[in-house]
Chains A and B, each alone.
Chain A
Amino acid sequence: DSGVTQTPKHLITATGQRVTLRCSPRSGDLSVYWYQQSLDQGLQFLIHYYNGEERAKGNILERFSAQQFPDLHSELNLSSLELGDSALYFCASSGPWSGGDEQFFGPGTRLTVL
């Protein structure tokens, strides 16, 4: 158990809908990263937040957004969902500095878009 929690574990929804994925980092970690894992794209970095501020962005779609709250938990919002958004979404945490390095991954949220 990495100490990173993610909810929900599974999510099934329809095209065009909007969902929110939640992540709580390990105690003491200030950084949260979001990654998408799919069969064709592999593990892809989406976005990094450090202590509430966005630090780096990957190939994140405009339909996707994220934020990190004062209690350091983070949410990834996916809207106007398409079939191709079906994937595993992982968050990872590290810290307390912003350089990244040892990132510990949560168990993931499996999103299925029908």
Chain B
Amino acid sequence: QQQVKQSPQSLIVQKGGISIINCAYENTAFDYFPWYQQFPGKGPALLIAIRPDVSEKKEGRFTISFNKSAKQFSLHIMDSQPGDSATYFCAASSNNQGGKLIFGQGTELSVKP
């Protein structure tokens, strides 16, 4: 019940296209859903996050869509650029569990020029 399932494992998108990564969770106590971006040799960097009281959040080219009833959330990267090529992780946490993040397995995104 603590798992967060992420798909796809890898994704190839043309420059200018839309990248979509999906995550699903089971634990209804989760109340915070961040996305992290990780480049090789670096630590994960917080990209954007959402709480269950809203269905969508947009920051620049990055949008989170959240479906509480389906227990799913997704990251959309609009106008994808080669510099977006990285590994993306979704995560979830519950305020009553000390803030620990439960991470998805990661998606390796490659944006082709």
Which chain B residues in 78-113 approach chain A with CB under 8 Å? Answer: 89, 91, 93, 95, 97-106
Once the chains bind, are A55 and B103 in contact (CB under 8 Å)?
Answer: no
A35 proximity list for chain B (CB < 8 A): 101
Number of A interface residues in the complex (CB < 8 A): 27
Contacts of A106 in B (CB 8 A): 43
Q: Is the CB of B106 within 8 A of A99?
A: no
Contact size range, B:
20 to 34
Complex contact B99–A43 (CB within 8 A):
no
A 33-64 contacts with B by CB, 8 A = 33, 35, 42-45, 48, 55-56, 58
Within 8 Å by CB of A99, from B43, B45, B99, lies: B99
Q: A43-B89, A99-B95 are in contact. Are A33 and B100 (CB under 8 A)?
A: yes
**Whose C-beta in chain B lies nearest to the C-beta of A105?**
B43
Q: Is the CB of B100 within 8 A of A100?
A: yes
Residues of A close to B102: CB separation below 8 A: 45
Chain B contacts with A in 27-48, Cβ cutoff 8 A = 32, 34, 36, 42-46
Q: Complex: how many Å from CA A44 to CA B44?
A: 13
Q: Residues of A at under 8 Å CB distance from B?
A: 2, 4, 31, 33, 35, 42-45, 48, 55-56, 58, 90, 92, 94, 98-108
Which 7 interchain pairs have the tightest Cβ spacing? A100-B99, A56-B98, A105-B43, A43-B103, A45-B100, A55-B98, A105-B44
